[in-house]
A and B are shown apart, each in its own frame.
Chain A
Amino acid sequence: MGYTEEELKKELETKEYEYGFYTEIDSETFPVGLNEEVVRRISKKKKEPEWMIQWRLKAYEAWKKMEEPEWANVQYSKPDYQAISYYSAPKKKDQYKSLDEVDPELLKTFDKLGISIDEQKKLAGVALDIVMDSVSVATTFKETLAEKGIIFCSISEAIQKHPDLVKKYIGTVIPIQDNYFAALNAAVFSDGSFCYIPKGVRCPMELSTYFRINQAGTGQFERTLVIADKSSYVSYLEGCTAPSRDENQLHAAVVELVALDDAEIKYSTVQNWFPGDKNGKGGVYNFVTKRGICHKNSKISWTQVETGSAVTWKYPSCILKGDNSIGEFYSIALTNNYQQADTGTKMVHLGKNTKSTIISKGISAGKSQNSYRGLVQVHPRAINARNFSQCDSLLMGNQCGAHTFPYIEAKNKTAQIEHEATTSKIGEDQIFYCNQRGIDPEKAIALVVNGFSKEVLNKLPMEFAVEAQKLLEISLEGSVG
């Protein structure tokens, strides 16, 4: 055979991060360090009202008293929170009215990312909010959405234009003292997306946010708040990239979803932060808190494809508060080289007849560690709660690890909970079968991995599914175990 396992491995290792470019854009960056003054300055910069400043300060006070969590199954040198700049924005004078006014360098960046804003506008019909170095730079399709009463803008704009909505919901799903990173985010978040779907409206297009860390020495702290009012529907996409750097950059985002009665939110993420080079140097620390609350008859569905980041710490959760509400979690987490991922979900059943489904697929290659950590909790009043969890792990090579830590807590006799997990490698017979039919090993692996993750890929919106599939292929070419 011409193509040996060794060669495949080598190719895999040397495969470079495609999105690792850095764009020269004039940007305004705060000096490093965090104190009350910095929090105030960020708030001032964003021209925020007084209540917001107080809210941030409260979060900062809470954060100061907290300790960085250590329970996750990941090892990293803790970031020095005083060595990070908490604000970096592409310089701009006024709000852009149309794309023509946007810095051409910036537009080039988006071209490189494969997001042609123009094209998206015309063809894909995806409304896009782009957040670069924590500041929202462009929101497309605003007018079309406004006709339906949908608000889709950066969160700093929302704080100014729709303070009532923001005030009512921000921090209700994830309280400021929820955890170390959420508190930090609440204190220093510089931007993010805000979305409100009015009563009975079905959002006609996919809403999308693209995050990018550009500047060196900065942390990205964005905050997303999605509110689906009664009987509405929205599908929301999120993508992320960062340039290749030797240092570890911190990304601590917070995503809050509120699904009111009969509403449905579908939240999809393709996370492709810079994972560090093949020796494990550099890469993004991805410490994200995501949680949604479901009111009566509503549904929240998380879909995530995690291929990037040096260290991932992420548990998109659903609080099934209302009766008959549904929570779903579909995830593919792929780790290679020295990446570490500790990811999973929490399903908290509070209401009657609540249902949750968890499908998690972990793929580990190289020297990476991949953990699933999940919680299914059925409270005493949650009659007829139903959960199904499945987590499968695929190991490639004998230096990686796959771990499963499911927590199941049932306090109601009518609860029905199933959990199953398997760990295996790609079968040699499967590869052999493909080889026999003229499919080379590399393609055969892609085929098997695709089949392995199909249940999750199928849940992604069309545009993202293609991208996700491509991402998986890039990261996995040739890893016969």
Chain B
Amino acid sequence: MEFKEKLLDSHLAFEERIDLSDAIHQTRLESLKTFEQKGFPSRKDEAWKYTSLNAMVLKDYALFPQTETTIQLKKVKKYFLYEIDTYKVVFIDGVYSPFLSDTTHDGLDVCLMSAALSKAKYRSLIDTYFNKIINKEDSLTALNTAYAQEGAYVYIPKSVVAEKPIEIIHFSTGKEKALWLQPRNLIVVDQNAQVQILERHQSLKEHVVVTNSVTEIYAHQDAFVDYYKIQNDLSTASLIDNTYISQEKKSNVRVHTFSLGGKLTRNNLNFCLNGQHCHSTLKGVTLLEDQQHVDHYTLVDHASPKCESHQDYKGVFSEGSKGVFNGKIHVDQLAQKTNAFQQNNNILLDDKATVNTKPQLEIFADDVKCSHGCTVGQMDEDALFYMRSRGIPKKEAKALMTYAFANNVLESVELPILKKRINKLIAKKLGVNLGFDL
């Protein structure tokens, strides 16, 4: 495995370029060791049973882009929520772009991970939060930690409501033939604070790019975090997203994932509910075609009593696309009065499309309400016939059915402008123009 060697060898060079505190340096080295021992996951690992990284890691990638690149705003404007004012943290080929970004330190921190890691005033925060809730056994997370340097850093102080949504966008320009990116985000939402965040990875040219991203989110007591992941990349881009969320008492975290494109997308979404009365929402819409592959791997760990979690993933798969859903609800012995729900519905439109789904429950407490449901099926022929007999063309009828199918997820998007955008994206994907907003 040559690329693994390269990753191990380049680490020294990587660390030499940056001047950082010793604590992080140690963490990096330990993580590198973990990665060295574990290597890339293979299909023999139960968690990677249906997703193979073999082809991906056989290639060679550039780890450090050569030069700084600038892009004109008008070229990429459409990827932003330009209709409204937002904070923006933008990276081009892994390098921060001050020109496209709009950061702040006014009342709340929306800035760079590299700044947070190197400046003394952030030191205690980094010590408290950095690399604390990740799965130390996960090799890809360890790899990211070993190279942790750039990404977004967000801190919302006590009782502050972020007035504008925050956009974290990674562009890749295709200057390198093949690029391996490892952004690292840290989001801390203090007591009673609120924030909405949007994350997007976008390549601007058809070229090979793999993003191995890690995001840590801390939601303190009564905090509210609304997180959206838009995955509508080109068919050459792959994404491995590792998100770790820790929730305290009465906090509410919602994560919506829209997987509409990309070669291979793996979403590892981990929730840990540490306080009572937490609310967690995990929802996703997957709409695939071609040879695309999306793997949702969720874990909700109910470690405290009286929490509620809700999962709802919808998938529509056409052509040779492949969908995987692997959801796990773990209810600790202490976590009485847990209410956990998990649903995964899939529609297969093509004979070559595949769905593998594995919704799991692991329950150690008796006074709980836990259920899951999962289906694989087709569109209702009768409903299609009904619409067509009333003059709605087949394509539109199918699109309507798809909307209805995904509506549970779509309607819970709380940013109206984003909702509109996603609806448009889906309409475009389905090749229709429905004359109404959903």
* A residues 404-418 in Cβ contact with B at 8 Å: 404-418
- Do A424 and B369 contact each other (CB < 8 Å), given the known contacts A413-B349, A413-B378? yes
In chain A, what residue has the closest Cβ to B370? A423
Query: Within 8 Å of chain B (Cβ to Cβ): is A421?
Result: yes
Contact yes or no, B357 A408, CB < 8 A: yes
Selected contact of A418 from candidates B352, B354, B375, CB within 8 Å = B375
Report the nearest A residue to B357, measured CB to CB: A408
B348 within 8 Å of A (CB atoms): yes
Determine whether the beta carbon of B376 is less than 8 Å from that of A408: yes
Asked if B360 and A406 sit within 8 Å, CB to CB, the answer is yes
- B333 adjacent to A398 (CB under 8 Å): yes
Against A, the Cβ 8 Å flags (1 = close, 0 = not) of B356-388 are 111111111111111111111110000000000
A416 B358 Cβ-Cβ under 8 A: no
For window 253-277 of B, CB contacts with A under 8 Å fall at none
Taking the complex as formed, is A401 at the interface, i.e. its CB lies under 8 A from any CB of chain B? yes
- Complex Cα–Cα for A407 and B368 (A): 23
Q: How far, in whole Å, are A413 and B378 apart by their CA atoms in the complex?
A: 7
Taking the closest CB of chain A, its distance from the CB of B308, in whole angstroms, is 15
Q: Is A451 an interface residue, CB under 8 A from the partner?
A: no
Q: Is A282 an interface residue (CB 8 A)?
A: no
CB-CB under 8 A from B350, the residues of chain A are 413
A368-398 vs B: 1/0 string, CB under 8 Å? 0000000000101000000000000101111
Contact status of A405 and B358, CB under 8 A, knowing A410-B346, A420-B371: yes
- Whether A401 lies near B362 (C-beta < 8 A) is yes
Q: List, in ascending order, chain B residues with CB within 8 A of A421's CB.
A: 359, 361, 371-373
Contact of A404 among B336, B361, B366, B378 (CB under 8 A): B361
Q: For A399, list chain B residues within 8 Å (CB).
A: 333
The answer to the question of A9 belonging to the interface, with a C-beta cut-off of 8 Å to chain B, is: no
Given A395-B366, A402-B363, A420-B373, A412:B348 Cβ within 8 A: yes
- Given the complex of chains A and B, what is the CA–CA distance between A25 and B34 in angstroms? 58
| Chain A minimum-CB-distance residue to B369 | A424
B375 touches A71 (CB 8 A): no
Counting CB contacts under 8 A, is A403 at the interface? yes
Q: Which residues of A contact B375 (CB under 8 A)?
A: 416-419
Chain B: interface size category: 35 or more
The chain B residue sitting closest to A387, CB to CB, is B376
Q: How far is the CA of A404 from the CA of B357 in the complex (A)?
A: 13
Q: A415-B348, A423-B368 are in contact. Are A409 and B355 (CB under 8 A)?
A: yes
| A-side contacts of B372, CB under 8 Å | 404, 419-421
Contacts of A15 in B (CB 8 A): none
A399 to B365, CA, bound (A): 7
In-complex Cβ contact of A411 among B354, B364, B366, B371 (8 A): B354
* Chain A: CB-nearest residue to B359: A406
How far is B348's CA from A436's CA once the two chains are assembled, in angstroms? 51
Task: Give A386's nearest chain B residue, CB to CB.
Answer: B377
Query: How long is the Cα–Cα vector from A77 to B349 in the complex, in angstroms?
Result: 47
Instruction: Select from chain A the residue with minimum beta-carbon distance to B377.
Output: A416
In the assembled complex, the Cα of A413 lies from the Cα of B349 at a distance in Å of: 6
Query: Which residues of A in the span 209-263 have a Cβ within 8 Å of any Cβ on B?
Result: none
B-chain residues with CB within 8 Å of residue A425 when the two chains form the complex: 366-368
* A416→B378 contact, CB < 8 A: yes
User: Is A398 a contact of B356 with CB atoms below 8 Å?
Assistant: no
Q: Does residue A481 face the partner (Cβ distance < 8 Å to B)? A: yes
Q: Are A481 and B377 in contact (CB under 8 A)?
A: no
| Cβ of A416 to closest chain B Cβ, rounded Å | 5
Given contacts A71-B46, A380-B351, contact A408 B366 (CB under 8 A): no
On chain A, the residues within 8 Å of B234 by CB distance are none
Q: Known interface pairs A398-B333, A419-B373, A420-B371. Does A412 touch B351 (Cβ–Cβ under 8 Å)?
A: yes
A414 to B376, CA, bound (A): 9
A396 touches B366 (CB 8 A): yes
Q: A416-B376, A420-B371, A424-B369 are in contact. Are A407 and B364 (CB under 8 A)?
A: no
Inter-chain contact A407/B356, CB cutoff 8 Å: yes
The answer on a CB contact under 8 Å between A481 and B366 is yes
Closest residue of chain A to B374 (Cβ to Cβ) is: A419
* Residues 316-371 of B contacting A (Cβ, < 8 Å): 333, 336, 346, 348-371
Chain A residues with CB under 8 A of B364: 400-401
Measured between beta carbons, the chain A residues less than 8 angstroms from B354 are 409-411
Instruction: Tell me the complex Cα distance, A418–B365, Å.
Output: 26
Measured between alpha carbons, how far is A481 from B353 in the docked complex, in Å? 45
Docked complex Cα distance between A422 and B354 (Å): 26
Q: A71-B46, A410-B355 are in contact. Are A415 and B366 (CB under 8 A)?
A: no
Q: How far is the CB of A383 from chain B (nearest CB, A)?
A: 9
Q: Judging by beta carbons under 8 Å apart, are A402 and B361 in contact?
A: yes
B351 in contact with A413 (CB, 8 Å) = yes
Contact present for B359 and A419 (CB under 8 Å): yes
B residues less than 8 Å from A71 (CB atoms):
46
Contact A481 B367 (CB under 8 A): yes
Q: With A412-B348, A413-B349, A415-B348 in contact, is A403–B377 under 8 Å at CB?
A: no
Query: Chain A contacts of B368 at CB under 8 A?
Result: 395, 423-425
Residue in A closest to B362 when the chains form the complex, CB atoms: A403
Determine the chain A residues whose CB is within 8 A of the CB of B361 once the complex forms. 393, 402-404, 421, 423
Query: Taking the nearest CB of chain A, how far is it from the CB of B383, in angstroms?
Result: 15
Residue from the list B355, B366, B378 in contact with A414, Cβ < 8 A:
B378
User: Which residues from chain B contact A395 at a C-beta distance below 8 Å?
Assistant: 363, 365-366, 368
Pair A405/B360 contact, Cβ less than 8 Å: yes
Interface residues of B (CB under 8 A from A): 46, 333, 336, 346, 348-378
The chain A residues found within 8 Å of chain B, CB to CB, are: 71, 378, 380, 393, 395-425, 481
Beyond contacts A398-B365, A408-B357, A421-B361: 18 other A-B pairs, Cβ-Cβ < 8 A, are A380-B352, A398-B333, A400-B366, A407-B357, A408-B356, A408-B374, A413-B353, A415-B376, A417-B376, A418-B373, A418-B377, A419-B375, A421-B373, A422-B371, A423-B368, A423-B370, A424-B370, A481-B367
Q: Could you show 13 A-B contacts with beta carbons less than 8 Å apart?
A: A393-B361, A395-B366, A398-B333, A400-B366, A406-B359, A409-B355, A410-B376, A415-B348, A421-B371, A423-B363, A423-B368, A424-B369, A481-B366
Q: Which 7 interchain pairs have the tightest Cβ spacing?
A: A395-B366, A413-B348, A417-B376, A404-B361, A423-B370, A422-B371, A410-B376
